Amino acid sequence: MSDTSALPATSREWRLLSRPVGWPKSEDFALVEAEIRQPAAGEVLVRNKFLSVDPYMRGRMSAAKSYVAPFELGKAMQGGAVGEVVASAADGIAVGDHVLHFGGWREYATFDAKQAVKVDPDAAPLSTYLGVLGMTGLTAYAGLLRTASFKEGDSVFVSGAAGAVGSQVGQIAKLKGASRVIGSAGSDDKVKLLVEEYGFDAAFNYKNGSVAEQLREAAPDGVDVYFDNVGGDHLEAAIGQLNRDGRIAVCGMISVYNNTEPAPGPKNLARLIQTRGRIQGFLVGDHYDLQSQFVQEVGPWVASGALKYRETVVEGIENNLEAFLGVLRGDNTGKMIVKL
């Protein structure tokens, strides 16, 4: 245990006060001062440096049964974070180590050291362990290669393609020999980024017209793989362009996360019979066995610049909620990060 007398007595943390109906509102949340708890045996105290905000967090704000427990009302929310250990009562983790953990949405976190993964700030910037080399990167890797069974020569369509996951999906597909990669995004600047920096063969702004028509123009020979981050009209358009034995990996459906009524399903599901197509949802938590393979393959791509990434960085714990809402609005290019 280190000397913690120089540490502050309290830490700011975000709590959920009420479960949002539709679009989350500021009054559903509160930023409060909480006492910093010193670590008990087997625990560590971490000063967070970077926090992650992600679309899946919207689901945790609801009480509905899902694949992960809802946030508890009146208690600190959780999320990915990277920070420096400032006190340790655990073997194997020392003061000064940097760790990846899930005690986000707060400045300081005390938790069981078994929930911490040590990361090397010299091997890659700390923020990348929340994005391109973290959970979002593994999501892209597992969803494309395992769930969608990508193979060399496939034509790939990615929605939400300028986001943290989507931008990596498209680039991995190109690096592994895709015949064509198409992306959709929500602004002309993002479309330009996809083609000029990330190497997509084609991209379109879904706000500029019919998604189905724009996809037909961008993928005249159809698509073999669709990586779905959006749902709605994007999913229907992809089914319409799916080739024989095409595969759809459903990662997220951000277009319906704030709906108060069930969204209608695609009207053309019967086309899956003709194409022998497959739709499969997945969760990154089921694929952590790929973690070492993922880092071994993707790490050198990131280091060499073969795989590019962007981060949208928001400063300050007081802006954590606004950063999260920005992700739902699509304000971010690449991974949305909060820097403390």
Q: What is the pLDDT of residues 283-321, one digit of tens each?
A: 998 998 998 899 889 989 998 999 999 899 999 999 999
Type of residue at 134 = G
Looking at residue 330, its pLDDT comes to: 86
Confidence tier at 143 by pLDDT (50, 70, 90) = very high
The pLDDT of residue 105: 98
Q: Treating both helix axes as pointing N-terminal to C-terminal, what angle do 164-175 and 135-142 enclose, rounded to 10 degrees?
A: 50
Q: Helices 232-241 & 211-218, crossing angle to 10 degrees?
A: 40
Q: Where are the beta strands (DSSP E) in the chain?
A: 10-16, 29-35, 43-52, 81-88, 98-101, 108-112, 117-119, 155-158, 180-185, 202-205, 223-228, 242-250, 278-281, 311-315, 335-339
- What is the rounded distance in angstroms from the CA atom of residue 293 to the CA atom of residue 307? 16
Asked whether residue 3 carries a pLDDT value surpassing 70, the answer given is: no
CA distances, 71 to each of 12, 75, 105, 181, 202 (Å) = 17, 8, 12, 37, 39
- pLDDT in the model for residue 2: 54
The pTM for the full model equals 0.81
